[in-house]
Structure 1
Amino acid sequence: MTTPQPALTDPWELAGIRVPNRVLLAPLAGIGNWFVRLQAARHGAGMAYSEMVSSFAIHYGNEKTLTELLRVHPEEGPTALQLFGQDPEIMRSAAAYVAEHVPQVDVIDLNMGCPVPKVCKTGAGAAMLKDPDTAVAVARAAAEGSGKPVTVKLRSGSVPGDTSGVDLAHRLVAEAGVAAITFHPRSAKVHHAGVPDYDLAAELVASLPAPVILTGGLHTVAEVQAAYERTGAAAVMLARGSLGNPWLFEQLLGRRDDGPTAAEILAEWHWVIDRAEEHLGPERAGRYLRKFHPWYVDRLDGGKELHIALQQTHTVADARAVLAEHESTLLVT
């Protein structure tokens, strides 16, 4: 008799850590700071992963990394910090630092799937698919250095048709004691293009003696539910589909049926602006927020003029002034 698949709302355990549901926030490079993770938690995410952080930057004491990228808000809930790097001893040192100085971190996650050339050319990220011995050594070092559970994010392979990610997943669990694998069933070469190979993900789920967290191509409620059921994964991880749309967590967890109102979107946008200012100060936040504004403009059908005006802002005050000028129009869209 086949055991029914748990609902996305069901709690589960990751290496002894209780995760209240099966909808997680992915590690979003350059985006997943503490307030983005807190936003996801506010809307129901069972666990959130940080943006990827250089193990070398931690080891060598980079000030920005230590003071900004390692910041965890006390209300985030279960949190994973994602590290990247190809040197086992540097990784051991970085993981030990995190364990000592950021005790709120529950899990160390390792990025072995990033396809960006500047990461891969160092031997990190998806380049690890071609060097499985080093990948296993790095994962083992992270666990030994931190004393915390280690998870790994993998791509299916380096190029279409390559399934080396499946083989590496098995080695990481068997030889390095990795607690779970986050699997993006696209090759590194295609980045985010093409259709994810969910059948391959299902094969990994069926064969791996550890939980598999599914990510990739999950933008709508229908897509997430279909992929979750098709693969039998332990959980799903929202990435780009959640950008400017934290309500997707609520919809998947049955907390709401419809999308947000214009007033809700605008209120959330202001919340993001306020948190960014708290994180970076008014001037740095003003520049940093240029990558966030388009998500909310598009959800409100704000149009090209508003896009352009916000991309020309330099401070948080500038952004608030532009929003105030357009607010009445946005609330009736």
Structure 2
Amino acid sequence: MQSVWRTMSRRAHSESPVPRSVKRMKISHLTKESYKNGVVLAPMVRSGALPTRLFALKHGASLVWTPELIDKAILHTERVVDPVTGVISYNGKSRAVWTTHPIEKPYLIYQIGTADPDLAVQAAKTVVQDVSGFDLNCGCPVPFSTKGGMGAALLTNPDLLCSILTALREAMPPEITISAKIRLLPSQEDTLKLVERIVNTGVSALTVHCRTRYMRDRERAMIERLKEVVELVNVKMGKDIAVIENGDAQGAVDAVRIRKATGCSSVMIARAAEANPTCLSTTPLVDIHQTLVPSYLRLCKYLDNHWALTKFCLSQFRSAQTQPGGKLEEKRVRETIVKARSYDELVDIVGAWTGEEDMKEIIKAIEARDDQHIRFTEVEMDETDTADPLPSLLASVVAAAKSASGGEFITPPATQNPHPPASGAPLDTEGDVYRPAGMRGMRGFVPALIAGQDPATPTHMPTLVTV
């Protein structure tokens, strides 16, 4: 499609002196196969910013998801293209609601937050020229989504959920894929019934976060329940679509453990990628405050990524330290960034502001890919092979996961979220209804692991009001 190329009114131009046209991307479309045999970047609010997605693609992500974007929010934006960097910005009244770049389009899935089929279609039509697929968020448990009937609230209203997917499939061109991301229901039988309905809407893939709506990240993902979901979709229903696992994967190597345990097609990574976007590679970077942070900062400034968003993303970064004095250097870098009020105060970390060169490296790496997804055969280990083909730091992840439980169904070490959601557990307005006997009346949310049982699926109908 043709685009109107205009200078963005809200950005200071990059230092490149002469505006130039962005290199035309070759036409490429996703298929059902594109979702299989790979590791993918999860939709993450704030953390899933454009620079993070680009680094994830550079370091092995098969596909990348945008953060959840509410339907009405994108409808009131103006699409503007920067002729210098190629960044496409959907601007709201004060700043960009969402930004993307043409280099990521062949691998980009746009996640919609919605509770209305018509609004979902309008939102999709607004951005369809810049993405390759759409994903319906049916798993976000935070009150912001659920009180508007969106996210995990859709799990209690399968008729509405499926009507949104059907509307998107009918409205979008056939080359645009449609998928959904759900959470497990407390009952496995109910989960399978919901999965069957979703698959029959014609989706190209289904992602299952292997926790229920009321489970926290600190409770292990119930990946053992996914195997039956995979068998239902691929064997009993005979649908050749990807079932993607989400929950507790530490990276590309650890994803092998999950795939072998569940039979899933691909693995989606969230928290580990939030801490280190290169973890989707079989050789992720370590000492990232020296190896990744300077480049990340240069790229963010070049792409005019909002400073506050950049600062937040960097605050989540963590990695192993292998160099003498590494922890002290990490602390120095972190404190410098925390105190900084703009990019210009970080010269001693980044050196020269060569973000254009960093972007060229990313484009070169992405264009060099000869396939739209990394095959698992490239990262799987032959357990009978005495020669370890992987660096010891990565092999130890798999070893630790296996030894921890004598099996494959436990949260691997070091996956606890260092920054739990500040809003606390997402409670329904009838919160105490879901507490087991003896625990009602206690303040705050009682995790399922402590309570000894999972809360029942709410039976009341959520208010269907978008926000």
Separation in 2, partners of 1:130, 1:296:
35
Q: Which residue of 2 aligns with 1:212?
A: 243
Residue in structure 2 matching 1:83, options 109, 112, 125: 112
SS class of match (2:103): coil
Q: What is the number of equivalent residue pairs in this alignment?
A: 296
The answer as to whether partners of 2:117 and 2:164 remain within 8 angstroms in 1 is yes
Say which SS state the counterpart of residue 237 (structure 1) adopts.
Answer: strand
Seen in structure 2, the aligned counterparts of structure 1 residues 297 and 221 have a Cα distance that, compared at 3 Å, is closer
Matched residue, 2:62 = 46
Q: Which amino acid aligns with 2:339?
A: Q
Q: Secondary structure at the match of 1:319?
A: helix
- Could you say if the C-alpha distance between residues 17 and 130 of structure 1 is closer, same or farther in structure 2, counting changes exceeding 3 Å? same
In structure 2, the partner of 1:146 is: 172
TM-score by length of 1: 0.79
Q: Which moved more, 1:20-29 or 1:189-198?
A: 20-29
| CA pair 165-277 structure 1, distance change in 2 beyond 3 A | farther
Paired residue type of 1:274: R
Structure 1 residue 313: deviation in Å?
1.6
Go from structure 1 to structure 2 and tell me whether the alpha carbon gap of 1:71 and 1:295 turns closer, same or farther (over 3 Å shift): closer
Higher helix share: 1
1:23 touches 1:45 (CA, 8 Å); kept in 2? yes
1:215-252 deviation per Cα after TM superposition (whole angstroms, max 9, x unaligned):
1111155642211101100111111111242332221x
Summarize the Cα distance change of 1:274–1:231 in structure 2 as closer, same or farther, 3 Å threshold.
same
User: 1:22-171 maps to which residues of 2 (within 5 A)?
Assistant: 22-61=38-77, 66-67=90-91, 68-76=96-104, 77-99=106-128, 101-102=129-130, 105-147=131-173, 148-157=176-185, 160=186, 164-171=190-197
Residue 30 of structure 2 contacts residue 133 of structure 2 at CA under 8 Å; is this kept in 1? no
- Asked if structure 2 preserves the Cα contact closer than 8 Å seen for 1:84 and 1:124, the reply is yes
SS of aligned partner of 1:141 = helix
Structure 2 spans left out of the alignment, 5+ residues: 1-28, 81-88, 234-238, 322-326, 352-467
Q: 1:295 Cα deviation (Å)? A: 4.0
Matched, 1:247 2:275: no
Does the CA contact (< 8 Å) of 2:246 and 2:267 recur in 1? yes
Cα deviations by residue, 1:262-300 (Å, 9 ceiling, x for unpaired)? 4x652421221122223336xx41x22222233446545
CA contact under 8 A between 1:112 and 1:128: conserved in structure 2? yes
State the distance in 2 between where 1:297 and 1:25 align: 17
Are the equivalent residues in 1 in contact too, given 2:210–2:247 (CA < 8 A)?
A: yes
Give the secondary structure class of the aligned counterpart of 1:66: strand
Contact in 2 for aligned 1:112/1:155 (Cα 8 Å): yes
* Cα-to-partner distance string for 1:168-188 (whole Å, 9 max, x where unaligned): 2211111x2111100111011
C-alpha separation between the residues in 1 aligned to 2:172 and 2:140? Answer: 22
* Structure 1 alignment gaps of length 5 or more: 1-12, 325-333
Q: Does 1:311 align with 2:338?
A: yes
Give the Cα separation in 1 of the matches to 2:192 and 2:52: 30
SS in 1 for 2:258: helix
SS of residue in 1 equivalent to 2:127: helix
Per-residue deviation, 1:260: 3.0
Contact 1:56 1:94 in 2 (8 A): yes
Contact 1:154 1:165 in 2 (8 A): no
**Structure 2 residue matching 1:82: 3-state secondary structure:** strand
